[in-house]
Amino acid sequence: MSPDLPLVVPSVTAELVGALPPRLRKRLDAGVAKLAARPAVRDGDTVRVAVDDETDVVLHAPGGTVTSADAIRCGCLLAPDCLHRAAAASAAPIADDTPDGATDADQAQPATDSTDTTTAPDVATAGDSNSDTGTTAGDSNSDTGTTAGGANSDTGTDTATPEQRTAAHAVHAAAAAVLDAGTDGAGAVLQAELLRAAHAARLAGLPRASAAAVSVVTRVHAARAAAAGHRLAELAGALAGVLGVAHRVPRATGPDLAELRGTVRQPYRPDGSLRLYGLFSEPVLTATGYAGAVTWTADADGRLYTVSDVAPGGPARATGAADRAVRIGDTALTHRQLSRAGLAVSGATVSPTGRLGTGAAVRAVRASGAAWRAEPLDRLWAVPVGDQVARALDGGQDLLFLEVTLTGTLRETAGDCLLADCAGVPVRLATAHDDPALPYRDNLRLLAAARGSRLRIVARLVPGPFPRALLLAAEHPVDPAARVDLGLDWLQHADLPTGTVPAPLVAAAGEEAPLHLLRRRVHQAVAGGRRVLAFSRSGPGDGTRLRRAGLATAADLLDGLHGAAADRSRDAFGRLLPADTDRFARAWLAAALYTDAAERALCADAWGATAAAAPSPGSGRGPGLVPRR
């Protein structure tokens, strides 16, 4: 993915790649790599890439987005049926395929992930945007007595239409092909097939499946480009999400189907007047080419709201967005200032995930803020830790408001993290992002020298067998009335208590439950494809170890995953037949869903929380921003 190129909607890439003859498809990946390495020159709405001394590819992107195949032109002799146009579309970042007619104020922010970025999850859910209608693709039509998805009002049932079932099967088949090849083998052709299926799903009234498929392609882009923000676990989660949704749509009915269909636009509801208090700001820097900042606020009842500024960009935009004015009303507050001050909003509109709308009717002025240890923000830290974790695991917002004592530094394979005591629970506090342009890692190293300090912090839960969270903001080590946004503010040695010494470094203990044996194979399949598992079976050792730990289901799923990967039939002449990608995808999805559910159960036990029904990929239940009351 080249950040110098404009956004290209999925249907354009799918059309251009689909028009290539087989001989050019084989050369497409090489063409993408070559074009991505060439400089791009932007002139207004036009971006020009010099393929060689005599040939240019020109992308016309009004508003920053290429919306038709005719907007990509090439000067070579084979144009318009050349390789260069398809390579340019494949190398460009993927745009949100939002329907025409959406206003600027209603455009959705890009989806962000709790581990991929330093952002709040669900700044906007993938494929969602603000909407005045608030209807889903499956909502009923009062005039005809049928739903948009083809429900029959006479029988009272709502089932997927034939077009939706066909589109869901196409998405599942394309995603299964990507999984079968792995990121190493999922080149531009396979990515384009998944984008084609995503576009068909959107046209069939399945915006959620469409958005999930596009999310997979953007992460495959990042993986193949070795982007700094790429996380294999997030790509695995995205694949599990799209496979889960596509698998369930043809069989779902009623409210479950409406949830699986999703909404084309995210409804914003009027919320009257709000008095908000700034909590903290965090930078956004995703592996999919978006950057900016998100500021978290709370009202007097402890409900959380966010103000975001996210757009295509890199580290410079992530660090600079904090000093840009928030886009609500006429306020001149920057995100950094809002995180310490307050906001009075009239005519407010709020999404289901707590994001404040920025419509023309919204008015906002600066107001006084509140300290973390003063009302009303103090009540966020008064909620028992177990209840906060249970809320997050049950699909609520995953921010944790903790009071901890720093006790040392823990060495893990992924890097060092802080070890802190939280009401008797040893918590591992890791950096939210490793990009050197952001101060997270440097701040964590300095805080490690403040051993014994008792601080209030804000962190994001990381489900796992040990209590673990990503550190986002903290009280100042020597001034409890001040606070530090660890992704934006740079701590200095002078900010530490006098007489501090480096915290002791200890090695991480091994996992009590060897669930990592299954999780490792799930991730290996995503990276290397089916063939990696077909030739890497380690015999009965892993399965035996899982069964000894009481994880018999995990052992059976591991055996089934290896069996599906190695299963290749032969024809009457002894020649290998094509692999059953559908069977392998089902076995992999079962292993991924089990691993996710088991990790959440272990997480609840580690934090002393009441285990709740964990949301799984494709279930439609994800982290929200407004705590349930």
Domain pair 266-367 / 378-507, same fold: yes
Give yes or no for residue 486 having a pLDDT over 70: yes
Confidence of residue 21 (pLDDT cuts 50, 70, 90): very high
Per-residue pLDDT of 392-419, as tens digits, reads 998 888 999 999 999 988 877 767 889 9
pLDDT at 500: 61
The two structure tokens encoding residue 256: 């479950």
E-only strand ranges, 368-440? 399-412, 415-422, 425-431
List residues bridging with 473 in a β-sheet.
Answer: 458, 485
Higher per-residue pLDDT: 626 or 457: 457
Q: List CB contacts of 51: < 8 A, sequence separation 6 or more.
A: 34, 35, 38, 57, 74, 76, 84
Per-residue pLDDT of 159-176, as tens digits, reads 999 999 999 999 999 999
Dist. CA 356–CA 295, nearest whole Å: 11
pLDDT at 499: 62
Q: Which residues of 570-601 are buried (b: 16+ CB within 10 A; e: fewer)?
A: eeeeeeeeebbbbebbbbbbbbbbbbbebbbb
Confidence of residue 198 (pLDDT cuts 50, 70, 90): very high
Higher per-residue pLDDT: 504 or 447: 447
Dist. CA 429–CA 392, nearest whole Å: 17
**What are the CA-CA distances from residue 52 to residues 57, 69, 490 (Å)?**
10, 22, 44
Give yes or no for residue 282 having a pLDDT over 80: yes
Give yes or no for residue 303 having a pLDDT over 60: yes
Q: Judge contact between 93 and 40, C-beta under 8 A.
A: no
pLDDT at 537: 61
The two structure tokens encoding residue 386: 């177990």
Mean pLDDT (whole number) for 172-195: 95
Confidence of residue 567 (pLDDT cuts 50, 70, 90): confident
Dist. CA 296–CA 279, nearest whole Å: 5
Give yes or no for residue 474 having a pLDDT over 60: yes
Confidence of residue 217 (pLDDT cuts 50, 70, 90): very high
Per-residue pLDDT of 76-134, as tens digits, reads 988 888 999 999 999 998 987 644 333 333 333 333 333 333 333 333 333 333 333 33
The two structure tokens encoding residue 524: 């290996």
- The percent of residues above 90 in pLDDT, for the chain, comes to 55
Higher per-residue pLDDT: 545 or 3: 545
Higher per-residue pLDDT: 150 or 284: 284
Cα 118–Cα 234–Cα 313 angle in degrees, nearest 5 = 45
Q: List CB contacts of 45: < 8 A, sequence separation 6 or more.
A: 60, 61, 62, 63, 64
Dist. CA 228–CA 278, nearest whole Å: 30
Alpha-carbon radius of gyration of the chain: 25
Does domain 378-507 fall under CATH 3.40.50? My reply is: no
Strands 290-298 and 304-312, sheet pairing: antiparallel
The residue written with tokens 């299963």 in the block is 567
pLDDT at 502: 59
Confidence of residue 379 (pLDDT cuts 50, 70, 90): very high
pLDDT at 39: 86
Give yes or no for residue 451 having a pLDDT over 50: yes
Per-residue pLDDT of 309-318, as tens digits, reads 988 888 889 9
Higher per-residue pLDDT: 574 or 502: 574
Positive or negative, the CA dihedral 326, 331, 332, 333 is negative
CATH number of the structural domain 266-367: 2.40.50
Mean pLDDT of the chain: 83
pLDDT at 618: 45
- Locate the domains of the chain by residue range: 7-91, 119-261, 266-367, 378-507, 516-607
